[in-house]
Structure 1
Amino acid sequence: MAQCPPLSVADQYSQVRTSIQLGVILSILLFIVFFLDNRYRVLPSAIHNHLPAHHPGFVVTDVTVVTCSSINPFSRCSIDSEHWHRINKDLYLGSGYVSKAYFHVERKREDALGPHEEVVYDIKIGRLQPSSVDPLSKDERWESRPGGIWIKKSAKKTDPSKIVTGVDVLFGADAVDPRSNWRVQDLGLFVDAHGDTPEPRLTVRKGPALKVEKPVPRIRKDGKFKIMQVADLHLSTGLGKCRDALPEGQKCEADPRTLEFIEKLLDNEKPDFVVLTGDQVNGDTAPDAQTAIFKYSEMFAKYKIPYAGIFGNHDDEGNLDRAESMAIMDGLPYSLSTAGPEDVEGVGNYVVEILGRGSTSHSALTLYMLDTHSYSPDERQYHGYDWLKQSQIDWFKSTSQSLKRKHKEYTHIHMDLAFIHIPLPEYRNPDQLPWVGNWTEPPTAPAYNSNFKDALVEEGIVAVSCGHDHVNDYCLPALNKEKKPALWMCYGGGAGFGGYAGYYGYHRRVRFFDFDMNEGRITTWKRIEWGDTESRIDEQIVVDGGKVVVDV
């Protein structure tokens, strides 16, 4: 058998160099694969990152925390198992630079459990085993998991209300959960959070998922109904930082103070319905928007007040887009928020019907909720903010026309209102009409006019109210083709301390609309957070006998 001639030193060097190059290339490719896998891999259970591991029909059989490194190509942020599902939220909220950590839940269908298979009956957080600090649990078996997690497991018993069926992650010491039979743990997970990053907290559901019944708002027995418009809450993940708070120099945490203000008005004014007109979430300080959404929804659920919300330009600047945020809002207690038709541009174009008093099924008030989007899609030609699109205007007009016949069956005067976030171009007052309230900053309406104001007038809407410009709270009449007042255009005024309000000592405020269906009358006013908090500001009648009236 012929032998190959020995390689020269140069050939040997060339082979070694080639091998090294191939090794380097292979290492780079492996790094890219794992790098992309760790960041952009979408797990089947995490397509919607707010509903990853607590679907109906499942029970929790185990939990854990998985830590990984973004610079280690062999470090994984997930568990490869069909039963393990990742809560798709970095427990460090992106502050770990190199390190990431994710909470994982093992879940199985309840009807597929083996006869002796164990399920989780309780979850606690602490550095010490619960049996060592709680005399009542000394005979119970607790198992340790990373992050200070302790779980109690046992074979499935007959009482389904005690079985853990869902676990979720929220953030911050002020985290709350409005969902039925969910409870936020008293302590945060023991992970190495960085700086001021809000601590991760587990929220646990025991028992089956409860069906959320949609409330049916109705005119009171005395023929009255009161709507509280809350604009620009600007809630954060965590406590948030106050902007332009008065009085100056005092300690201020944005979200607690904002919610305390709203809660005080709920106590004092006792509204029948709440409309949220956008920027509930302060996008750049809300890396977990779900935590922020839960704050206001928990408050309204506690007061058992139905509410509906639309989006502003900041709501989708956190970790959730509009569709994901609305999916959360739509499933919460007392929420009438919904996405609306898929063939209409935007998320949150829908109608809320307020039924007449008693047991009637006829509508007394119709509230049109519309998405005014965010920023201009054509900055060169139309600088600033987006506008209502033709598909939305067509939907609004066709919906209004289809409802008019049914509304005529109402025995009193039926009235229609609309709520948006970004003001219409006509808020700039082209007809130079007198207004009521504060006009403190130029209206940041879109540069392009899609003529939605004309559609409102044509369909007989008596008032439209917006948010967005925090220190404007005026009401301005708009004219019809006959140059007669036909519509009131109002601002809600900024309510949240996470947003700006630094013009001329402006105080946070909230607008109310009070309806007297016996007279077909609408009265509106504002209440402020600091200063003369007991008085109604700029109280005025805007509609009487079902007609727009102007007395300014």
Structure 2
Amino acid sequence: MFSSLQKRRILNTVRKIIIPALILLCLVSCSSIKTHFINTVTPRPIADGYKGGVIDDVRLIKCFHWFRDCNVVYEKTYFKRSLEPWLRVNKNLNDDRLFAAELGLLYRTFLYVHLGKAASEKKCISDLVISRDKSTVPVQVLQDINDRVRSKDSSMFHKHDHQKGFWAKLLGAKADGLTVKGEDWHYKGLGVWCKFSSSPTDDEGQLVTNIQVFIGDGFTDPRPMWKSAITGMAREKGFPLSVSVQKFEKNALHTDSSGAGDLFMKNGEYKILQLSDLHVGVSSQECGITCSEDLKTTRFISYVLAEEHPDLVIFTGDLIDGLNTLDFQAALLKATEPIILAGIPWLISWGTSDFSRFASKGQILDFVEQLPFCLNRPNKRLLEYVPPHTTNNALSLSNENGLVGILYILDSTSSENSADFLASAYKQTTDCLFGDLLYSLAFQHSPIPEYRPSGAFPIIGSYNEKEPLDIAQLGVGDTLKKLGVQALSCGNEHANDCCLFDEGIWLCYSGQTGVAGHSPSDSDLSTVRLFRVNDRIKEITTWKRNTNSPDEVYDYQFLFNDKQ
């Protein structure tokens, strides 16, 4: 039995241990409770999440279901211990579960940033890397801090995320983080590593100015000034995520073609590459086969670009597989990757599969128009004379002497009357520009009724699909002929790659470019069509290439010759 003196000593010892522990527990709990209280009751500033700008902190943060708004949450920052507003890196999708890094019973985890100020006393983030395995250090970080790596007992070789108890998980307690002191890289938990600028600076190209999240695997960001922080970050629930960061530079390669509508010949020639029905999908649950087929398609396109050196690329619809794609942004970037990397102007004539189950058509248009080298925004010359938000377009083709041609890009999925647009675009272009209009070509996704001629007619290529057309588009063919358009080329019907002649106009198909497009025959064959306007000899020609014999051209034919 203990004496009374021993009991008092034991009691005092217990008090010395328990009381500080209780105080510490209270402080931790109060801090967590305060965070939850602030996020539940505090009115949020009007914000749709992070829209770009320099940042001084980045982290994966839990947003609990009782929080007032997940677009903005209050958390402590690296520089301040007080609660500060953090902005979520959002996506233009109507279901935020699709881009949550983690889906818990009571919370969802998203990537958040804290806005910084360039040239302030705080250092801003100059780079971001996310590790697929939270227990390892990314190669880029190891290269930058290689002096630290030489130490065998470095904490970098230990597991970074320590186990948390039930109540800690419930209240959202953070895992113990690792900070490499004396170095620029800092570990922010859950595999996130950020690098701070060596000194407060607003030098262009030195700071991260934007972050975007994409859904799906097999994705590489082709945009200039953008780099991938991670591709294929695995999630327990949902498809992998990819994260890209931007370092903006004003003096970098100019890629903004918004509002441009004037094309110029080089050495008296202009070459156009038509691609159609790629049906790209990067986030399908059965991505294994689909993604490998998409890779075959993009490699073939890259090969054609290197061989032909086109001046313009026109997609005639169905770039993406809208029904089976979660993230239209990732799919569109994947489809346009070879063209953006080659620095070639391009635009889209929309198809029936170019939609998203989780975003509006307007959101898709806004994203596309911001992509490098894209010409989809109607040129300024037509804005006053066409309906607002039109998805039709017309580009003038000029040489050193002035206007020589017009390219019409029509949207066969739109409710807008394409015949009226054609007439208006022709009038405004010829009234505003001087020259001798000699060449006219039109492109759209779906064929018009004239693609089903009766009797005998000239034809070059395969013509296997002849079912009734879903979209009538009455009056378009007559207007094209009236305006002197020499050829209309479309996609949609995968098994057709011919050009047929009908009363003064050639009606062409591009053939199916996407290997994963599943045509009725030769589903593994990828085909593209090219057009060349040669002003020196006054003619328009066309030919094709396919994956069976990519080095060879075939079905070479004349569409127009001024001597005829």
Change (3 A) 1:237 1:459: same
Q: Does 1:79 align with 2:72?
A: yes
Following superposition, the deviation at residue 430 of structure 1 comes to: 4.0
For residue 288 of structure 1, the aligned residue among 318, 327, 338 is 327
Question: Are 1:62 and 2:107 matched, yes or no?
Answer: no
Q: Which residue of 2 aligns with 1:533?
A: 550
Tell me the percent identity.
26
C-alpha distance in structure 2 between counterparts of 1:206 and 1:145, whole Å = 20
Closer/same/farther in 2, CA of residues 140 and 497 from structure 1, 3 Å limit = same
After superposition, what is the alpha-carbon deviation per residue over 1:351-391, rounded to whole angstroms, capped at 9, x for unaligned? Answer: 122331xxx27233311111111xxxxxxxxxxxxx7643x
1:237 to 265, 268, 282: 282
In the alignment, is residue 364 of structure 1 matched against residue 404 of structure 2?
A: yes
- The 3 A distance-change label for structure 1 pair 277 and 344 is same
Assess, with a 3 A threshold, how the Cα gap between structure 1 residues 285 and 252 changes in structure 2: closer, same or farther. Answer: closer
SS at match of 2:470: coil
> Structure 1 CA distance, aligned partners of 2:415 and 2:489?
14
CA distance in 1, matches of 2:109, 2:491: 38
Separation (CA, whole Å) in 2 of partners of 1:227 and 1:366: 13
Quote the offset at 1:270 in angstroms: 2.2
Partner of 2:210: 166
Is 1:255 paired with 2:275? no
1:355 match: 398
Deviation at 1:426, TM superposition (A): 1.7
Q: Give the 3-state SS of the residue equivalent to 2:332 in structure 1.
A: helix
1:53 is the counterpart of 2:50? yes
1:123 and 2:128 are equivalent in the alignment: yes
1:535 Cα deviation after fit: 2.8
Letter in 1 for 2:333: F
Match of 2:512 in 1: 494
Q: Does 1:446 align with 2:470?
A: yes
On the 8 A contact 1:229/1:274 being kept in 2, the answer is yes
- What is the aligned partner in structure 2 of residue 23 from structure 1? none
Once residues 204 and 533 of structure 2 are traced to their aligned partners in structure 1, the CA distance between those partners, rounded to angstroms, is 46
Report matched runs for 1:96-115 at 5 Å.
100-108=108-116, 110=118, 115=120
Partner SS, residue 376 of structure 2:
coil
- Counterpart secondary structure, 2:300: helix
Per the alignment, residue 376 of structure 1 pairs with: none
- The 3-state SS of whatever aligns with 1:253 is helix
Read off the aligned partner of 1:366 and give its amino acid letter. I
Q: CA deviation at 1:259?
A: 0.2
Deviation at 1:423, TM superposition (A): 1.1
1:151 maps to 194
Equivalences for residues 171-190 of structure 1 within 5 A: 171-189=215-233
Segment drifting more, 207-216 vs 488-497: 207-216
Change (3 A) 1:416 1:117: same
* CA offset digits 1:499-534 (Å, max 9, x no partner): 12232667221111122112221111211112x333
| Equivalent residue, structure 2, for 1:396 | 422
Pick one of 477, 500, 522 that aligns with 2:501. Answer: 477
Query: Aligned letter for 1:230?
Result: L
1:227 counterpart = 2:272? yes
After superposition, the Cα gap between the structure-2 partners of 1:414 and 1:84, relative to the gap in structure 1 and judged at 3 Å, is farther
Match of 1:321 among 349, 360, 363: 360
Aligned amino acid, residue 437 of structure 1 = G
d(CA) in 1 for partners of 2:256, 2:63: 41
Aligned residue for 2:516, secondary structure, equals coil
**Cα displacement (A) at 1:208:** 4.6
Change over 3 Å in CA distance of 1:545–1:355 after alignment to 2: same
| Residues 1:312 and 1:97: Cα distance change in structure 2 (over 3 Å) | farther
For the Cα contact (< 8 Å) 1:495–1:509, is it kept in 2? yes
TM-score between both structures, scaled by the size of structure 1: 0.74
1:419 to 431, 443, 451: 443
Is 1:517 matched up with 2:535? yes
Contact 1:425 1:446 in 2 (8 A): no
Report if the CA contact (8 A) 1:148-1:190 is conserved.
no
Q: Measure the CA separation in 2 of the matches of 1:272 and 1:228.
A: 8
Q: Is contact 2:215–2:326 with CA below 8 Å preserved after alignment? A: no
Pairing 1:467–2:491 present: yes
C-alpha separation in 2, matches of 1:43 and 1:339: 35
Q: Distance in 2 between matches of 1:443 and 1:158?
A: 61
Corresponding residue number in structure 1 for 2:7: none
Q: Are the equivalent residues in 2 in contact too, given 1:355–1:364 (CA < 8 A)?
A: yes
Quick check: 177-186 or 465-474, which moved more? 177-186
CA distance in 2, matches of 1:93, 1:430: 52
Using the alignment, how far apart are the partners of 2:54 and 2:235 within structure 1? 26
SS of corresponding position for 1:258: helix
CA distance in 2, matches of 1:431, 1:272: 37
Q: Which residue type is aligned with residue 117 of structure 1?
A: K
- Deviations 1:82-116, CA, capped at 9 Å, x for gaps: 95332334475589697754322222454xx7x43
List runs of 5+ in structure 1 lacking aligned partners. Answer: 1-36, 47-51, 246-250, 374-386, 480-485, 548-552
Aligned equivalent of 1:218, options 246, 250, 264: 264
**Counterpart-to-counterpart distance in 2, 1:156 and 1:119:** 7
Q: Quote the offset at 1:294 in angstroms.
A: 1.4
TM-fit CA distance, 1:309: 1.4
In the alignment, what sits opposite 2:562?
545
Confirm or deny that 1:206 pairs with 2:247. Answer: yes
Aligned CA distance change for structure 1 residues 401 and 54 (closer, same or farther; 3 Å) = same
